[in-house]
Structure 1
Amino acid sequence: MDFDAVTALGSARCSTIPSAKRDRSWASHTLLGHRFGLGKLIAILVCPSQERGTMLAPGSALTLERGWQTARAAESLQNLKKLNNQDFSRLRAQCLSQGLLFEDATFPAQVSSVGPNLLPEDKLRRIQWKRPTELQRNPCLVVDGISRFDIMQGEIGDCWMLAALGSLTLQKQFLENVLPKDQGFQDNYAGIFHFRFWQYGDWVDVVIDDRLPFLNGRYLSVHPRTSNEFWPSLLEKAYAKLRGSYQNLHGGCLSDALVDFTGGVQVQFPLKDPPPDLEEILKAADRSQCLMGCSTSSQLKRNIELRNGIVQGHAYTITGAVKIRYKNGWKHIIRIWNPWGHGEWKGPWSDGSSQWDHVEPKYRETLLRNKDDGEFWMSCENFLEQFSWLYICNSTPVFLNFGDQHCATWSVERHVSLCSPVRVTGRNSYSPAGAVSTNMQYFIKVPDYDSKTYNVVISLMRKHAEDQQDAKPLKIGFLITGENSRVLKESFSMARDVTNYFSLSPGTYAIVPAANQEFEFLLRVFMKTQDYNENSNSLPSPVLPMEVPKQNRDSSYKAAFLRYATQGSVIDASQLQQLLNEVILQDEMTSLGGRFSFDSCRGILALMDLNSNGRLTLQEFGTLWRSLTKYMDIFSKEDRNHSGFLDVSELRSAIQTAGLVANEQLVRLMALRYGDGAGRISFSDFICCMLRLETVTHAFQNLAEGESRISMTAMEWLTLVMYT
């Protein structure tokens, strides 16, 4: 995994939100059509007669999941709801035509938008509203990309929202839904911006003006680390408008914000009494690029910083989890970020702690940022001691797929309805019989699927009143009944969103929403099913799994390609680099040796480029994908000490396993060319090495036609070696 990666939605200069990837035009190769041009040559060598194995790299099912998720989000965004019926494009055009800056009458620059109880009355009177253009000569929406390090919490106690936002910046597939690209301070600036949030089954577009609240010359809200970058403050204002006021952000549930930013399903795990498979859940969540956060106990006064640096009653972002070689063994450590933008853990594995002295310098330099930026590492043991809750969110609960031996998908059913109050049998107790008899029942059929883990997730979400300031606490939940309406399981909470996960035997069950007063709800039922056939006419509604058996692995390359391709047609070297680093390097061992460089990705692309145009089509990428996954399996097998590298003897064995031929001199040259100073070859360099060896070997075999030598002109030779 890339522990220092941030979502790059901006360029090095101040800008509106440009594309995350700069399109690189490649010069056409006019010589490639001569005789057996390079396109034909590569076509010969990358399509050998024997069928290649179909293998999938760990984490690649994530791309399938992201592909479905993106499609579902795009469909939902086409039916976008507009808060207060405000149309961003129409309002901006109107302001531009009149030469005016937008002023939002539905969320005015007044105390009502701040909230009457957020501050004492004398401070409320002193609040001033200022536009970014009044604060900076050159304001920007985004500067040098979007990162969690752009965020520094202000006076408002919305760490729960900012912790979710910090996680959102790490997951571009969700971030792009929340932060539209059609806005900024340079072109068509009219003092108007918009952001999108998911609310009870729909994406809602929230329009705001850019007047921000200040108290005594300081931001009342979140303030950016870079003085002229305003996306955090504007996004926070839009969320405050959605919630009714800034006051309604002062204290809240991290789980709510995770769902509002993704439209996904969140599960909370108690850390004082964690499930036995928590470590597997956490690792699966990290591999599948879930949004993750955690919180400390609020039994003591909020925002009290302990001597060890941990803040009580506070929410944090989980930004990574890795198994690292430590002394003579391995250590699981977790990376956490504080939305304050400073204030860090001072115990083991913190910045400057002695534990890092026993980590190889190469890994230490990759993982450790010795800065007071609010981000720190700690061991899993300390994590369980210091934090109370873990929150994980994704479009479907793929983080519960660990341990499955089959190709699993998650289907989802949605129901929106009104729940009647149930009969109470005593003080604050519900009558299951009353609930079953008076409320609507939703029947589900759990398929006969040999799941080794959890196979059903149920999420019941209460829909707040329009005026959220008047929303009252309400205990809601659901019952699961079997035959004869016997209650098998139940789950209740005072939260807006009651979600729980279960392992249910095959059969038919009824789900009964319940509360002690009437409320409108959204019920979502996620069920794990088996198998996915890409030739099927009916597509599964949610997502594909994390672990896929080898016989089903080949189908995933299409979703990977479509996720990163330009308009779904081709990928260039920059996009290939992002794909390889985000998908292939999800495996712990393969990521230890470093990332794929842009130059190595240009070389890989050239080897697979049938059309000789500097880009890969879906067919060309499919061939590359099969080679990548084959060599990933070989690398994992030959790296017997799990160091993340192959030495010369292991490289020799890997070449033999791949069915290729190289004498001792060639093996030594390959180790010299692709290895580090000690002759060790990382996974990314191993891929480059093996692809070139395989390519040149098949090229010679096909061109020689059984002979021991081939003949070509100098220009043919130069054309081949200078591009590939």
Structure 2
Amino acid sequence: MSFLPLPWLLRRKKRMMRGPWLLDRKGALQKPSSLGQQNYHTLLEECLKNERLFEDELFPADVRSIGTGPLLQKLPQKIHWKRPYELHKAPVFSSANKKRLALCQGVIEDCWFLAAVEALTFHQDILFKVVPQNQSFERKKYAGIFHFKFWHFGEWVDVVVDDRLPVNEEGHLVFLSSVYKNLFWGALLEKAYAKLCGSYEDLQIGQVSEALVDFTGGVNMTIKLAEAPPDLWEIMTRATYSRSLMGCQTHAAPVRVLPNGLVAGHAYTVTGIRKVTCKHGPENLVRLRNPWGKVEWKGDWSDSSGKWELLSPKEKILLRRNSDDGEFWMSLQDFQAHFVYLMICKLTPDLMSQESGKKWRCSMQFGRWVKGSTAGGRRKAHRDRFWMNPQYLLKVLQGNGSKRSLYSCSVLVSLIQKHNSTHRNRRPHFHIGLSIYKLTQEYYDSNNKLPPAFFAGNAPLNSPLFVNDREVTQDFRLLPGSYVIVPSTSEPQQESEFVLRVFSRNHSLHELGGDSNSVLSREIVDKHEDWEDFFAKYFLQYPEINAVQLQRILNNVTWTNLQNYGLRFSLDACRSILSLLDLNSTGTLSIQEFRSLWKKLLIYQGEHYSYTVWCSGTELYLCTIKWYRFQEVFQKNDIHQTGALEQGELYTAMQEIGISLSNELCRLSTFRYGEPDLKIRFENFACLMLRVELMMEAFHNMSKDGKGMYLQESEWMMMTLYS
């Protein structure tokens, strides 16, 4: 990777002291007044043209961007602002070859933010939307400017920052950093989020759920673990396989680090779940990571726990991580006992429902509570004012494709409060909640706000829960018909803007007493429900599948982009795949093990979510997002479109996935997995990729220094003979 010579960079820097700008309609430069007016591509082009390094006056490299509160007391005596090329001779923005979990928290108490970032890294397509990848420190592209995208109260906002970062006198980053000293995407992402929130100080203290929603535009669900539903494990399983992001928080305590290794009042990332087979029976395990990158749980199923001896050698090798990297396993029972909240950010709203419909519709309304007008407070304490709150007519319609919908429909309602302050922590959150009422016949044809008499004579269908969080969500099962949603603060005369979102299979929403054409709706076409429905039906009949059944499934899939090459999985290939994924050594695949294969092979073959947004009947926006892995990487590198990869193409494909093997190993791989002409077809390419990932994971788990490892003879034989 090439970088700008230092003298050339310094020439750029001198020319950029005037600060940021934008081109107006006449082509003249003008200073932006808000985040939305800083156009990244315009600024980058102008910087490159004039050989200037970008300096952001909206978020300057001084104490104004850090803040004025307690954070200042934690900083080193002297702070310097330096660009990455001044901190490392070969800085990189991001790298596919680096380990996923490589970020470390700085002096800011923003473990909630970092826990959300690490959850984000499990979904590359979402990560790349937040962190655009066409950015680097290469000479032709570098101008000291970077940008990131956040979902901010109902819309995606592009946030531009320069790359000047605060460091101490030794040149170490004061805030978020990476274990790889030349990697800077995390530090720049934190700076962009600090700018969005007002300052670095405004990142102090928060909830994982807040950052998860800002990264995805998803819907938050918080479970108090002391009162968790009996099907908690099933909820977490559905969350894992429906691409939801999860974080959690420990109980507060006077001691920072508890004797059991957990940090009190601290946010963690849920990085995985696994049902293992012990000698005494199955056990549900949860994998967590401390954003500090160190300090781990010391109880059952920790790195040094004797519980691992209850597993098969293969399962122990592939799950246990014997290093102080902040990541650890614990039982579901211990998780519920030692953590207070589990936060799940749902990218589709059907986590709590197992309906088999095809579409979700999301309607979004922007409103506000105003003193003396629409800030009426909650019904229980302020009956005479409650009717003043904004009211929204919800019509739940039939025909959503579910048999169960003939009787009731799943409806999810989300309410997000938005203060006018440009600083996230300058104003505390109000206690907010929402109530939903069944509309009576006498008010069916009226578009006016419901009068006090309606609320005096009708009780809400739910028990409104008022919480002082940014977002509150509630799930309902409603019969087709007309309803009224009333969002409110706990006390009257509390002013704030809000965003109301309603998800269901089929509905309409508009404000009573307002403009009925101001509805902003979105359809989410979720094609993955087809194969989710297949999972449920097939594994209900066959709880465990063998190699023959696996072959039957794979050869009955319509491989849209590879069908012209006669793709067929041989029984030997299916036996190899089964042995790789069969962690508990039963000779079969469970639904969980099969989902792991399905995720790598099938959902990445062009499955997509299609968003269509319209306002007053006029289509405004259409976006299709695709996720890909093995199949698309194979196709992309099959340059001659022969349905097979040559050695050089295999090497490039591995690099793209993030696997670095030597040319010699790639050559040997073509001998082992290739046809007589030394070309690798897709079914063998998939086997090879699965094996490489498995072996790399086993090595990293067993190696304490990343250079070597020690195996007992039984463990070595297990890994070599049955994998």
TM-score using structure 2 length:
0.64
2:250 matches 1:296: yes
Equivalent residue, structure 1, for 2:307: 355
Offset at residue 293 of structure 1 (A):
0.7
Using the TM superposition, give the Cα deviation of residue 590 of structure 1 relative to its aligned residue in structure 2, in angstroms.
2.9
Distance 1:440 1:306, change over 3 A: same
Distance 1:433 1:278 in 2: 40
2:503 corresponds in structure 1 to 526
Residue 211 (structure 2) pairs with residue 257 (structure 1): yes
Tell me what 1:487 maps to.
Answer: 460
Q: Distance in 2 between matches of 1:370 and 1:124?
A: 34
- In structure 1, how many angstroms separate the alpha carbons of the residues matched to 2:204 and 2:595? 40
Q: Which amino acid aligns with 2:180?
A: T
- Secondary structure at 1:205 match in 2: strand
Displacement of 1:280 in angstroms is 1.2
Q: Which residue of 2 aligns with 1:457?
A: 412
Match of 1:184? Answer: 136
Displacement of 1:320 in angstroms is 0.6
The residue number in structure 2 matching 1:541 is 524
C-alpha separation in 1, matches of 2:365 and 2:555: 33
- Residue 507 (1) aligns with residue 461 (2): no
Report the counterpart of residue 214 of structure 1 in structure 2: 167
Q: Give the deviation of 1:557 after TM superposition.
A: 13
Tell me, yes or no, if structure 1 residue 159 matches structure 2 residue 144: no
TM-superposed CA distance for 1:549, in Å, is 5.3
Secondary structure at the counterpart of residue 227 of structure 2: coil
1:439 aligned onto 2:390: yes
* 1:240 equivalent among 194, 202, 207: 194
DSSP 3-state at the match of 1:133: helix
| Equivalent residues of 1:295, 1:316 under 8 A apart | yes
Q: Quote the offset at 1:149 in angstroms.
A: 1.8
CA distance in 2, matches of 1:263, 1:177: 11
- The Cα of 1:212 is off from its aligned counterpart by 0.7
Structure 1 pair 159–519 and aligned structure 2 pair: CA distance change class (3 A) = same
The 1:550/1:227 distance shift into structure 2, 3 A limit, reads closer
Aligned CA distance change for structure 1 residues 147 and 486 (closer, same or farther; 3 Å): farther
Deviations 1:413-457 (A, max 9, x none): 11112234444589xx64356323543223231647516998221
Structure 2 distance, partners of 1:88, 1:605, is 33
TM-superposed deviation, 1:496 = 1.1
Report the CA distance shift for 1:98/1:283 in structure 2 as closer, same or farther (over 3 A): same
Alignment of 1:327-346 (within 5 A): 327-346=279-298
Q: CA deviation at 1:541?
A: 2.8
- Residues 340 and 499 of structure 1, relative CA distance in 2, 3 Å threshold: same
Q: Secondary structure of the residue that 1:388 maps to in structure 2?
A: strand
From 267, 271, 296, the counterpart of 1:319 = 271
- In structure 2, the CA distance between the partners of 1:128 and 1:430, relative to structure 1 (3 Å rule), is farther
Q: Which amino acid aligns with 1:463?
A: K
The alignment partner of 1:116 has SS state of coil
Q: CA deviation at 1:173?
A: 2.2
Question: In the alignment, residue 258 of structure 1 is paired with which amino acid?
Answer: L
Amino acid at match of 1:512: V
Give 2:363's aligned residue: 413
Residue aligning to 2:650: none
- When residues 363 and 156 of structure 1 are mapped into structure 2, their CA distance, relative to the original with a 3 A threshold, is same
Letter of the structure 1 residue corresponding to residue 327 of structure 2: E
2:502 counterpart letter in structure 1: V
Structure 1: gaps (5+ residues): 1-12, 17-80, 531-537, 617-672, 675-683, 689-724
Indicate whether 1:497 and 2:453 are aligned.
no
Q: Is the 8 A contact 2:395 2:480 kept in 1?
A: no
Would you say how many aligned residue pairs link Structure 1 and Structure 2?
Answer: 517
- Give, in angstroms, the shift of residue 289 of structure 1: 2.1
Are 2:91 and 1:139 aligned? yes
Deviation at 1:121, TM superposition (A): 6.2
Counterparts of 1:560 and 1:334 in 2: how far apart (Å)? Answer: 34
Q: What is the aligned partner in structure 2 of residue 99 from structure 1?
A: 51
Q: Matched residues in 1 for 2:35 and 2:99: separation? A: 27
C-alpha distance 527-226 of structure 1, shift in aligned 2 (>3 A) = same
Q: Following TM superposition, by how much is the alpha carbon of 1:506 offset from its aligned partner in structure 2, in angstroms?
A: 3.9
Corresponding letter in the other structure for 2:337: E
Change (3 A) 1:571 1:337: farther
Q: What percentage of aligned pairs have identical amino acids?
A: 37
Give the partner amino acid of 2:438: G
State the Cα deviation string for residues 465-522 of structure 1 (Å, max 9, x = none).
2512533432222111114443121232211111122333443321111123232111
Change (3 A) 1:277 1:109: same
Provide the C-alpha distance between the structure 2 equivalents of 1:331 and 1:399, rounded to a whole number of angstroms. Answer: 23
Greater alpha carbon shift after TM alignment, 226-235 vs 434-443: 434-443
2:591 matches 1:587? yes
Find the aligned partners of 2:566 and 2:85 in 1 and give their Cα distance: 38
C-alpha RMSD of the superposition: 4.4
Letter in 1 for 2:427: A
Relative to structure 1, the CA distance from residue 457 to residue 179 in structure 2 (aligned partners, 3 Å threshold; closer, same or farther) is: same
| 1:111-148 C-alpha deviation (Å, 9 max, x unpaired) | 01000114346957622111111111111112344654
CA drift at 1:158: 0.4
Hey, which of these two has a bigger chunk of helix by percent?
1
Cα 1:262–1:493 change in 2 (3 A) is same
Question: Which secondary structure does the structure 1 equivalent of 2:466 belong to?
Answer: strand
Q: Does the CA contact (< 8 Å) of 2:378 and 2:488 recur in 1?
A: no
- Name 1:701's counterpart in structure 2: none
Amino acid at match of 2:460: V
CA shift at 1:328, angstroms? 4.0
TM-score by length of 1: 0.63
State the shift of 1:393 in Å: 1.1
